[in-house]
């Protein structure tokens, strides 16, 4: 018997890739810095908090270890109450997801946003019916993007069985590129997000896309054929 064709899979970052969540994240980051008595970074720096694990971002941008837990807690409180809902799906993303689903691609979100926030916001914005599965960070946000992607791929292997899979990641930050590379998965960079072309290419993105309209063809070129 001929072998089963591999199932095409797209792993999808959430913040900065499927949805524009920067304004809600920035407001919560600003609240966290005020809570611990530190000056907030510049607006452009705070926008870079969208996507990576929040503990990494705070540590990278001046929050000392002894204040890290307090900053994360203050961020979480404000984000749960206010920031999580200040978001929108990027124009063209629903159409791209529909096209990929119709082409037989398994769509799995792999996000550093904790599941307790990622699931309700995907439901609220209408993304949930367009996706096959969502894997997010634990509540303490202790995992790296590579670990989150690893759990997503474990789910994929269970879903596709003996057929196997061919996967590609779509993300807007270096963490997406590096995390995917840990598992031998190429990453397409989303230039409509928060990382920028230099960051994505330096990290080793397989290609960079300028618009969500480019996503279906670019993904299919990597996972089919």
22-85 carries CATH number 1.10.150.240: yes
For 128, the token pair is 């949930």
13 is catalytic: yes
Q: Using the predicted structure, report yes or no on whether residue 2 has a pLDDT greater than 50.
A: no
* Residue 217 CB neighbours (<10 A): 11
Nearest 5 degrees, angle CA 21-CA 51-CA 79?
Answer: 50
pLDDT at residue 1 in the model: 40
Cβ contacts of residue 107 below 8 Å, gap of 6+?
A: 10, 12, 97, 100, 101, 130, 131, 132, 133
Q: Using the predicted structure, report yes or no on whether residue 96 has a pLDDT greater than 70.
A: yes
pLDDT band at 101 (very low <50, low <70, confident <90, very high): very high
End-to-end CA distance of the chain: 20
- pLDDT digits 0-9 by tens, 18-52: 999 888 888 899 999 999 999 999 988 888 888 77
Residue 209 β-bridge partners = 190
Closest CA to 220 of 96, 95, 100, 97: 100
pTM summary value: 0.85
For 83, the token pair is 């920031």
pLDDT band at 225 (very low <50, low <70, confident <90, very high): low
Residue 74 and residue 32 in contact, taking contact as beta carbons nearer than 8 Å: yes
pLDDT at residue 5 in the model: 75
Name the DSSP class of 42.
P
How would CATH label the architecture of 7-20+88-223?
Answer: 3-Layer(aba) Sandwich (3.40)
Radius of gyration of the chain (CA): 17
Nearest 5 degrees, angle CA 152-CA 153-CA 154?
Answer: 90
Domain ranges of the chain: 7-20+88-223, 22-85
- pLDDT digits 0-9 by tens, 105-146: 999 999 998 998 899 999 999 999 999 999 999 887 778 999
For 215, the token pair is 């996503």
d(CA 180, CA 149): 7
- pLDDT digits 0-9 by tens, 144-179: 999 999 999 999 999 999 889 999 999 999 999 999
- pLDDT digits 0-9 by tens, 167-214: 999 999 999 999 999 999 999 999 999 889 999 999 999 999 999 999
């Amino acid at each position: 018997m001929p072998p089963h064709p591999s199932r095409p899979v797209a792993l999808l970052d959430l913040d900065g890739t499927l949805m524009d969540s920067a304004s809600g994240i920035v407001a919560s980051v600003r609240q966290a810095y005020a809570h611990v008595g530190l000056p907030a970074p510049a607006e452009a720096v705070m926008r870079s908090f969208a996507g990576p694990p929040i503990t990494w971002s705070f540590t990278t941008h001046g929050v000392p270890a002894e204040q890290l837990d307090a900053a994360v807690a203050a961020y979480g409180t404000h984000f749960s109450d206010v920031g999580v809902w200040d978001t929108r799906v990027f124009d063209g993303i629903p159409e791209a997801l529909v096209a990929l689903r119709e082409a037989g691609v398994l769509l799995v979100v792999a996000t550093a946003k904790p599941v307790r926030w990622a699931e309700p916001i995907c439901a609220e914005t209408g993304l949930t019916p367009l996706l096959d599965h969502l894997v997010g960070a634990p509540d303490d946000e202790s995992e790296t993007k590579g670990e989150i992607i690893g759990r997503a791929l474990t789910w994929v292997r269970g879903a596709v069985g003996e057929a196997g899979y061919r996967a590609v990641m779509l993300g807007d930050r270096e963490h997406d590129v590096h995390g995917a590379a840990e598992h031998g998965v190429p990453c397409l960079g989303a230039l409509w997000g928060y990382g920028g072309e230099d960051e994505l290419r330096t990290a080793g993105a397989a290609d960079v896309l300028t618009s969500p309209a480019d996503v279906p063809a670019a993904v299919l070129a990597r996972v089919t054929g």
